[in-house]
């Protein structure tokens, strides 16, 4: 049973079944995903792990509505996404998912506050409300004193905090983080993991890591393993390591 007992009754944020992704290469077909079933409940802190080429990014792009599967069904927070067009996918992405990437993906010569407010512009939130919520999100990640610093004036760990604040600011149903500590030294990496653990524990935010880094898995409540486009393991972690101590 790959699920912590206290989460069994929580609603499904992700409900994906028989997901395949096929790439045509000349005359041949290549299956990057060959029938993936995955359900993720509200409040989980989990890692999808696997070696390079196993299909992690392909799966994350589908779970994140950045790409559509070749076949299968995918419900995100109760909404079936299979028949959605580009605009509808962009809207559901903005509403339901906060993304965190290895390389932070911030606007470098823009203030922390404006970086974090960015998704709220697309969401149609007006100016003063945008500023208020962006400030609140930066305070939640411990950067209340760096609101007007440009991204390129911040350390790597601080930049990733800004990216996490940007992911949080829309109150998404989940955060998808692709190798979030991959560009950080081990001390900053640990601090970022601690922040994710706190957000999960204290605010119940659903967090899904996609990574090949075994250390990240040790800090999660659940580890799903993928190899050659198939799920080959799904385990709950009885006592995850605490990166805050």
Instruction: Select the binding partner of residue 55 from ligand ADP, Mg ion, none (C-beta < 5 to 8 A, by kind).
Output: ligand ADP
Q: Residue 57 Cβ, how far from Mg ion at the closest point, in Å?
A: 3
Q: Residue 211 Cβ, how far from Mg ion at the closest point, in Å?
A: 9
User: Which of 16/165 has CB closer to Mg ion?
Assistant: 16
Instruction: Select the binding partner of residue 211 from ligand ADP, Mg ion, none (C-beta < 5 to 8 A, by kind).
Output: none
Q: In the structure encoding, which two tokens stand for residue 31, read together?
A: 């299956």
- Our measurement of the distance from residue 124's CA atom to the centroid of its chain's CA atoms, rounded to an integer in Å, reads 22
Instruction: Select the binding partner of residue 81 from ligand ADP, Mg ion, none (C-beta < 5 to 8 A, by kind).
Output: none
Distance between CA 245 and CA 242 in Å, rounded? 6
By CB under 5 A, what part of segment 135-194 binds Mg ion? none
Instruction: Select the binding partner of residue 181 from ligand ADP, Mg ion, none (C-beta < 5 to 8 A, by kind).
Output: none
Instruction: Select the binding partner of residue 127 from ligand ADP, Mg ion, none (C-beta < 5 to 8 A, by kind).
Output: none
Q: Residue 176 Cβ, how far from ligand ADP at the closest point, in Å?
A: 13
Nearest-CA neighbor of 92 among 78, 105, 73? Answer: 78
User: Which of 32/140 has CB closer to ligand ADP?
Assistant: 32
User: Which of 74/169 has CB closer to ligand ADP?
Assistant: 74
User: Which residues does 158 contact at the CB level (< 8 Å), separation at least 6?
Assistant: 143, 146
Q: Residue 210 Cβ, how far from Mg ion at the closest point, in Å?
A: 7
What angle, rounded to 10 degrees, do the helices at 112-122 and 156-168 form? 30
User: Which of 158/211 has CB closer to ligand ADP?
Assistant: 211
Q: If you search the block for the tokens 């922040």, which residue do you land on?
A: 195
* Furthest C-alpha separation in the chain: 57
User: Which of 57/110 has CB closer to Mg ion?
Assistant: 57
Q: Does 57 bind Mg ion (CB under 5 A)?
A: yes
Looking at 54-62, 125-133, 181-189, 227-235, which segment touches Mg ion (CB under 5 A)?
54-62
Contact footprint for ligand ADP (CB under 6 A): 23, 30, 32, 50, 52-58
User: Which of 121/232 has CB closer to ligand ADP?
Assistant: 232
Residues at the interface with Mg ion (CB under 5 A): 56-57
């Amino acid at each position: 049973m790959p699920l912590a007992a206290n989460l069994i009754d929580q609603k499904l944020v992700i409900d994906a079944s028989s997901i395949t992704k096929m790439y045509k290469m000349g005359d041949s077909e290549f299956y990057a995903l060959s029938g993936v079933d995955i359900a993720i409940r509200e409040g989980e802190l989990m890692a999808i792990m696997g070696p390079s080429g196993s299909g992690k990014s392909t799966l994350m792009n589908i779970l994140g509505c950045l790409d559509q599967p070749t076949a299968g069904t995918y419900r995100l927070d109760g909404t079936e996404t299979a028949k959605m067009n580009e605009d509808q996918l962009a809207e559901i992405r903005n509403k339901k998912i906060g993304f965190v990437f290895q390389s932070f993906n911030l606007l470098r010569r823009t203030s922390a506050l404006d970086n974090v407010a960015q998704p709220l512009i697309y969401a149609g939130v007006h100016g003063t409300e945008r500023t208020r919520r962006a400030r609140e999100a930066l305070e939640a990640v411990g950067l209340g004193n760096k609101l007007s610093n440009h991204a390129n004036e911040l350390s790597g760990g601080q930049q990733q905090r800004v990216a996490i604040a940007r992911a949080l600011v829309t109150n998404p149903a989940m955060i998808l983080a692709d190798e979030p500590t991959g560009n950080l030294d081990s001390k900053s990496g640990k601090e970022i993991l601690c922040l994710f653990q706190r957000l999960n524990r204290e605010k119940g935010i659903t967090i899904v890591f996609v990574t090949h880094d075994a250390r990240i898995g040790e800090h999660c409540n659940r580890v799903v393993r993928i190899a050659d486009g198939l799920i080959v393991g799904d385990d709950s972690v009885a006592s995850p390591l605490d990166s805050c101590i």
